[in-house]
């Protein structure tokens, strides 16, 4: 048995010329994983469009309908930061299904990875910060409603606070939200997660990893989750356009190994999503996103072997 990976072969939404956040990275990530021997094509699982009820388990029917139909008002579209298109509406819904499928596979196999996901700035009635529907929140609500889990820990290590996720679960004790993020970065107004760890600007590998180690093992012991949803955002990298931390490629890989080993060796299933990452050099960005898959493959072989 090999590590299950959820992929998005049609995860390409054409954007206007000059747009700085190309969607092609999702398809390219799958190609790189295969080319580098990290994964074999047989390991990949393809999601389908989600039922409307999944989206409305987190988001208001009015917002869901307006986005799906392309009738969202211009101000709301600007807040998202991505121009609407039918292709974008389709792929963002498939991303939701991808995270649900990743979570199901993690429960079945102990560890699974998505080649997309991590849209943690989406609130119940609006999108924000390039996030339209909150896949982490929807996956949590779907699994809880189906009785597959009763307690979830969201470990959000994107450089930006998971503000939408924090608001969605602020009154739901079944989901514990942990966000470790750069303090002086988007969003300007932070929300209250169950545990927020703000980091100083410019933090490098060793200090970052020591900080994470000071919280994660105790959190697992405290929460005892049936599932960990891990947002492995790579915008903590020193070369990221929108991040203000200073992790290296090595630091990112060490972070992924630290998170996954800490969870899996204690029997906590982990579903990984790739989170944010913004870089002009597509290949460098895709490599950073691949690090969680490389680490997961190593951890999976070790603990399944």
pLDDT at 22 (0 to 100): 53
Residues 31 and 262: their CA atoms lie apart, in Å, by 29
| pLDDT block averages, 10 residues each, the chain of length 305 | 81 48 79 96 94 98 97 95 92 96 98 97 97 98 98 98 98 98 96 98 98 98 98 97 96 98 97 95 96 98 82
> What stretch of H or E contains 167?
helix 163-168
Q: Does 121 participate in catalysis according to the annotation?
A: yes
Catalytic residue among 8, 59, 120, 121: 121
Are 297 and 38 within 8 A, CB to CB? Answer: yes
pLDDT at 212 (0 to 100): 98
What residue ranges do the domains of the chain occupy?
5-304
Residues 49 and 18: their CA atoms lie apart, in Å, by 29
Are 169 and 140 within 8 A, CB to CB? Answer: yes
pLDDT at 24 (0 to 100): 77
pLDDT at 103 (0 to 100): 98
DSSP for 202-251 reads T--HHHHHHHHHHHHHHHHHHH--SEEEEE---TTBTT-SS----B-HHH
pLDDT at 89 (0 to 100): 94
The domain covering 5-304 belongs, at the CATH homologous superfamily level, to Histone deacetylase domain (3.40.800.20)
SS3 content of the chain, % helix, strand, coil (to 5): 45, 15, 45
Tell if the pTM clears 0.75, that is, is over it: yes
pLDDT at 135 (0 to 100): 98
Choose among 220, 232, 229, 216: nearest CA to 267: 220
């Amino acid at each position: 048995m090999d590590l299950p990976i959820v992929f998005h072969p049609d995860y390409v939404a054409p954007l206007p010329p000059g747009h700085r956040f190309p969607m092609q990275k999702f398809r390219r990530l799958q190609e790189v994983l295969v080319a580098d021997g990290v994964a074999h094509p047989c390991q990949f699982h393809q999601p389908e469009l989600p039922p409307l009820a999944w989206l409305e388990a987190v988001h208001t029917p009015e917002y869901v309908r307006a986005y799906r139909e392309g009738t969202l008002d211009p101000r709301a579209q600007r807040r998202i930061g991505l121009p609407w298109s039918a292709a974008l509406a389709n792929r963002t819904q498939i991303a939701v299904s991808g995270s649900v499928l990743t979570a199901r596979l993690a429960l079945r196999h102990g560890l699974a990875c998505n080649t997309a996901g991590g849209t943690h700035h989406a609130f119940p009635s609006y999108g924000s910060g390039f996030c339209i529907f909150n896949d982490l929140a929807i996956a949590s609500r779907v699994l809880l409603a189906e009785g597959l889990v009763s307690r979830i820990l969201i470990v959000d290590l994107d450089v930006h606070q998971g503000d939408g996720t924090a608001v969605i679960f602020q009154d739901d004790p079944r989901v514990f939200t942990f966000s470790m993020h750069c303090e002086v970065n988007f969003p300007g107004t932070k929300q209250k997660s169950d545990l927020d760890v703000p980091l100083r600007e410019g933090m490098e590998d060793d200090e970052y990893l020591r900080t994470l180690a000071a919280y994660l093992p105790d959190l697992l012991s405290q929460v005892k989750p049936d599932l960990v949803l891990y947002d492995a955002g790579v915008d903590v990298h020193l070369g990221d356009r929108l991040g203000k931390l200073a992790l290296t490629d090595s630091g990112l890989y060490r972070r992924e190994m630290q998170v996954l080993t800490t969870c899996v060796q204690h029997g906590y299933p982990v579903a990984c999503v790739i989170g944010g990452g913004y870089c002009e050099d597509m290949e460098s960005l895709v490599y950073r996103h691949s690090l969680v898959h490389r680490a997961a493959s190593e951890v999976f072989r070790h603990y399944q072997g």
